[in-house]
């Protein structure tokens, strides 16, 4: 084993992220085609998004609104006049062989996003947010499944022309953890604004990472690699961790990092060369002569600013301070989009902690099981459920069954209790009869309790619950059994 060099250079990672957000507009960026996912190939198309000769683009006002709202949420300046450019390159899934995008005058400039990790909070600069159109999708048919070696290729243009925002950060991030926190926070903002469903797995939110290393203390950037194909926050973290290690090894062994685009392979857990950027690709950008400059009315921008929803950082602060929730609960509720429901439930009289527990546990599990974006539950219903537990009508166990009924669409908690006959038996006379019957039936166990074996009481409680079909109030049952068996009964 060789000794490590005495003064090994220590490296610092420099990371910038480019995030694409597919906007949840009803129609495409420049035409009236539907954006809904999953139609038969090439059924969500028209002469415009197919780039038929003579067709012309018209900007979707809703997409502009979404861009402005995200820009405002990120503290960007909204350009009084921005422009669409053409980015020219040949690719079969691009109908016009140019992409309409924004270049030197994007709609939003110069914002920031605060990201918090165990290492502290860092303010990450947002260089710009710009608008562009998505491309179609190629399907390569043949043994390889890739373009090389395919027998033939098919193109589906349903996605072509769907509006995208590209959010470009400054190279301010310094670790995989920070990058994950940034992406998580950006996603939360996008969800709070309701401008995209922001699903990383399905590609409605996509993230590329520019990663480079430099010796600690240096200000000049090292050569970067751009890493693509991360399909979750976790894989972003893994890819960056891998890439930092790969580059550190190259540098410590005296080799150079190559300027290139690398592909993250989730299964192999490594990045590999996709293409080497020997020269900057020349996209021959020029202002799209089919579109006029985008000049949003300042009064409209002010309206949008005034109507911004509460942003996630503010929400988290509010939940922690006024509701006294734990960081973990806050993260679960915010991540699941359940904050509004919690607020409604509290307003309807629920205790914040209890309502938060139901949402963070049972409701979240139900959403995961059913792959639902939102539960079919109102704040008032949740408040009613906690009230039924609070007044002893339901045990926690029964309340779970009632919630299942509510989520299955059987009506309000009260209605489910009535329909399913789930109310807890808290009537002492009725319970006493059941308790006496069980003591007679399980005389042996009863005797052990009388003899001082406290654990034996469990069998008797179980017997009572069985006889009452789970409806007996467990605290009361315990109390009655003890009264009967220990107080000389």
Q: Which residue has the tokens 């480079």?
A: 212
CB of 373 to other proteins, least distance (A): 34
Task: For the segment 123-152, give every residue that binds other proteins (CB under 8 A).
Answer: 147
Name 124's Cβ contacts closer than 8 Å, sequence gap at least 6.
Answer: 112, 113, 114, 115, 169, 170, 172, 173, 178, 182
Residue 90 is a binding residue for other proteins (CB under 8 A):
yes
Rank residues 293 and 489 by Cβ distance to other proteins and give the closer one. Answer: 293
Residue 104 is a binding residue for other proteins (CB under 8 A):
no
Residue 59 is a binding residue for other proteins (CB under 8 A):
yes
Rank residues 63 and 439 by Cβ distance to other proteins and give the closer one. Answer: 63
Q: Please tell me the chain's helix, strand, coil percentages from 3-state DSSP, rounded to the nearest 5.
A: 40, 20, 40
> What is the gyration radius of the CA atoms in the chain, in angstroms?
30
Task: Mark the segment that binds other proteins (CB under 8 A) among 243-251, 279-287, 371-379, 394-402.
Answer: 279-287
Residue 289 is a binding residue for other proteins (CB under 8 A):
yes
Q: Are 60 and 81 in contact (CB under 8 A)?
A: no
DSSP 359: I
Residue 316 is a binding residue for other proteins (CB under 8 A):
no
- With CB under 8 A as the contact rule, the residue among 28, 44, 69, 96 that binds other proteins is 96
Residue 455 is a binding residue for other proteins (CB under 8 A):
no
Q: What are phi and psi of 114, to 5 degrees?
A: -85, 130
Burial of residue 40 (CB within 10 Å: 0-12, 13-18, 19+) is: exposed
* Closest to 183 in 3D by CA, of 342, 312, 345: 312
* Closest to 63 in 3D by CA, of 12, 109, 106, 27: 27
Rank residues 83 and 404 by Cβ distance to other proteins and give the closer one. Answer: 83
Q: Which residue has the tokens 């527990």?
A: 357
Give the Cα-Cα-Cα angle 242, 248, 254 (nearest 5 degrees). 140
Rank residues 150 and 459 by Cβ distance to other proteins and give the closer one. Answer: 150
Residue 478 is a binding residue for other proteins (CB under 8 A):
no
Task: Mark the segment that binds other proteins (CB under 8 A) among 205-213, 254-262, 278-286, 321-329.
Answer: 278-286
Residue 180 is a binding residue for other proteins (CB under 8 A):
no
Q: Are 314 and 343 in contact (CB under 8 A)?
A: no
**C-alpha torsion angle, residues 77, 81, 82, 83 (rounded to 10):** 180
Name 461's Cβ contacts closer than 8 Å, sequence gap at least 6.
Answer: 474, 477, 478, 481
- With CB under 8 A as the contact rule, the residue among 28, 69, 86, 238 that binds other proteins is 86
Residue 50 is a binding residue for other proteins (CB under 8 A):
yes
- With CB under 8 A as the contact rule, the residue among 53, 217, 409, 421 that binds other proteins is 53
CB of 32 to other proteins, least distance (A): 10
- With CB under 8 A as the contact rule, the residue among 16, 57, 161, 336 that binds other proteins is 57
- With CB under 8 A as the contact rule, the residue among 36, 290, 430, 441 that binds other proteins is 290
Rank residues 150 and 331 by Cβ distance to other proteins and give the closer one. Answer: 150
Rank residues 138 and 378 by Cβ distance to other proteins and give the closer one. Answer: 138
Residue 168 is a binding residue for other proteins (CB under 8 A):
no
CB of 196 to other proteins, least distance (A): 25
Give the Cα-Cα-Cα angle 328, 331, 333 (nearest 5 degrees). 110
* Number of amino acids touching other proteins (CB under 8 A): 31
Strand ranges in 53-160 using DSSP code E only, listed in sequence order: 77-78, 85-88, 98-101, 108-117, 120-133, 137-141, 152-156
- CA dist., res. 99 & res. 87, Å (int): 5
Rank residues 26 and 234 by Cβ distance to other proteins and give the closer one. Answer: 26
DSSP 373: S
Q: Are 102 and 83 in contact (CB under 8 A)?
A: yes
Residue 97 is a binding residue for other proteins (CB under 8 A):
yes
CB of 241 to other proteins, least distance (A): 35
Rank residues 15 and 79 by Cβ distance to other proteins and give the closer one. Answer: 79
- With CB under 8 A as the contact rule, the residue among 11, 98, 242, 358 that binds other proteins is 98
Rank residues 90 and 216 by Cβ distance to other proteins and give the closer one. Answer: 90
- With CB under 8 A as the contact rule, the residue among 20, 37, 41, 51 that binds other proteins is 51
**For binding to other proteins (CB under 8 A), which residues are involved?**
47, 50-59, 86, 88, 90, 92, 95-98, 147, 153, 155, 280, 282, 284-286, 289-292
């Amino acid at each position: 084993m060789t000794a490590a060099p005495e003064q090994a250079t220590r490296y610092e990672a420099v990371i910038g992220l480019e995030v694409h957000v597919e906007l949840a507009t009803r129609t495409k960026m420049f035409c009236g085609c539907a954006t809904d996912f999953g139609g038969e190939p090439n059924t969500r198309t028209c002469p415009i998004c197919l780039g038929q000769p003579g067709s012309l683009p018209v900007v979707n006002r809703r997409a502009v609104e979404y861009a402005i709202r995200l820009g405002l949420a990120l503290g960007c300046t909204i350009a009084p006049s921005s422009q669409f450019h053409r980015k020219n390159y040949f690719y079969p899934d691009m109908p016009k062989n140019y992409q309409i995008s924004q270049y030197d005058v994007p709609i939003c400039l110069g914002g920031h996003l605060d990201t918090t990790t165990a290492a502290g909070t860092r303010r990450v600069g947002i260089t710009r947010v710009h608008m562009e159109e998505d491309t179609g999708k190629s399907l390569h048919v043949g043994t390889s499944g890739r373009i090389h070696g395919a027998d033939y290729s098919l193109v589906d243009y349903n996605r072509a022309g769907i509006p995208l925002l590209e959010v470009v950060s400054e190279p301010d991030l310094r670790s995989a953890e920070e990058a994950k926190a940034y992406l998580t926070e950006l996603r939360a903002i996008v969800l709070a604004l309701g401008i995209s469903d922001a699903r990383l797995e399905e590609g409605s939110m996509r993230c590329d990472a520019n990663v480079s290393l430099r010796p600690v203390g240096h200000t000049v950037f090292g050569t970067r690699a751009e890493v693509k194909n991360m399909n979750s926050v976790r894989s972003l973290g893994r890819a960056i961790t891998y890439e930092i290690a790969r580059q550190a090894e190259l540098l410590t062994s005296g080799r150079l990092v190559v300027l290139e685009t690398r592909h993250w392979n989730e299964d192999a857990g490594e990045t590999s060369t996709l293409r080497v950027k020997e020269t900057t690709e020349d996209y021959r950008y020029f202002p799209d002569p089919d579109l006029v400059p985008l000049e949003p009315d300042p009064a409209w921008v002010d309206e949008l600013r005034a109507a911004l929803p509460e942003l996630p950082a503010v929400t988290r602060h509010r939940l922690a301070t006024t509701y006294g929730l734990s960081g973990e609960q806050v993260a679960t509720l915010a991540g699941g989009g359940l904050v509004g429901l919690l607020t409604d439930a509290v307003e309807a009289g629920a205790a914040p902690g209890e309502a938060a527990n139901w949402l963070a546990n049972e409701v979240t599990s139900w959403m995961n099981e059913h792959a639902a974006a939102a539960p079919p539950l109102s704040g008032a219903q949740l408040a009613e459920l906690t009230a039924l537990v609070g007044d002893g009508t339901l045990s926690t166990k029964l309340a779970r069954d009632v919630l299942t009924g509510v989520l299955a669409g059987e009506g309000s908690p009260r209605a489910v209790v009535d329909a399913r006959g789930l109310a807890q038996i808290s009537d002492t006379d009725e319970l006493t009869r059941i308790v006496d019957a069980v003591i007679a039936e399980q005389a042996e166990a009863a005797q052990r309790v009388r003899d001082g074996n406290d654990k034996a009481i469990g069998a008797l409680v179980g017997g009572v619950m069985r006889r009452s079909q789970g409806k007996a109030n467990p605290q009361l049952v315990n109390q009655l059994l003890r009264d009967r068996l220990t107080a000389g009964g």
